[in-house]
Amino acid sequence: MSQSLERTAEPLSLGASIVLYRTPVRSILPLVEQFLAQGVSLLYLIDNSPAGFDAFAGWEPPERVVTIATRINLGYGRANNIAIRDSVRRHEFHLVCNPDITLGANLLTELCDYLRRNPDEAAYNAWVNTLKNKPLRDPDAARSMVCNFLNSTEYQNRFSIHATHTTRECN
């Protein structure tokens, strides 16, 4: 195992999956290193390539990396579901990623911290009600979702000097 693949951060309660299709794992090693360095608990690499192509040929996965070869193209969602089914029993969160991303510094820790926050309940309930009562292709539903997000206390506290609107204006 290369020195850069060794653990440098405490593992988070986070699983992540990356689906590959005719992509050699060696081409995404910088991303694998980023996940491990930032403390992902388990990284699932799913090779969705047909029989005859082995994304993991000649590569020994480091600790905390699980490789799965489907030998058929299950589709992106179905292949990720293989990892998700295992991950949700082990971790607090699961992240689905494309192989062509780059992780910013401390991104995984910030993401877990953000997901653990206490969201603005009024805006959250408005989003849930919109999702329950209107199809997302409805322009009023999309407008309501965006309006409630931009006018939520949580958003304004994070991105504005002072609260300028309320979610009452969105309904």
- Regarding whether 161 and 108 lie in a shared domain, the answer is no
pLDDT in tens, 100-115: 999 999 999 988 887 8
- Helix H or strand E encompassing 80: helix 76-90
* Phi/psi at 57 (5° precision): -55, 125
Q: What is the rounded distance in angstroms from the CA atom of residue 85 to the CA atom of residue 68?
A: 13
pTM of the full structure: 0.71
pLDDT in tens, 86-99: 999 999 999 999 99
- Regarding whether 86 and 56 lie in a shared domain, the answer is yes
Answer whether 41's CB lies under 8 Å from 15's CB: yes
Q: Give the structural domain span for 53.
A: 3-116
Q: Averaged over 16-37, what is the pLDDT?
A: 97
- Give the torsion through C-alpha atoms of 85, 89, 92, 96, to 10 deg: -20
Sign of CA dihedral 28, 32, 38, 42: positive
Total number of domains constituting the chain: 2
Q: What is the rounded distance in angstroms from the CA atom of residue 149 to the CA atom of residue 139?
A: 15
pLDDT in tens, 35-73: 999 999 999 999 999 999 999 999 999 999 999 999 999
- Regarding whether 76 and 23 lie in a shared domain, the answer is yes
pLDDT winner (highest mean) among 6-10, 92-96, 161-165: 92-96
Answer whether 115's CB lies under 8 Å from 93's CB: yes
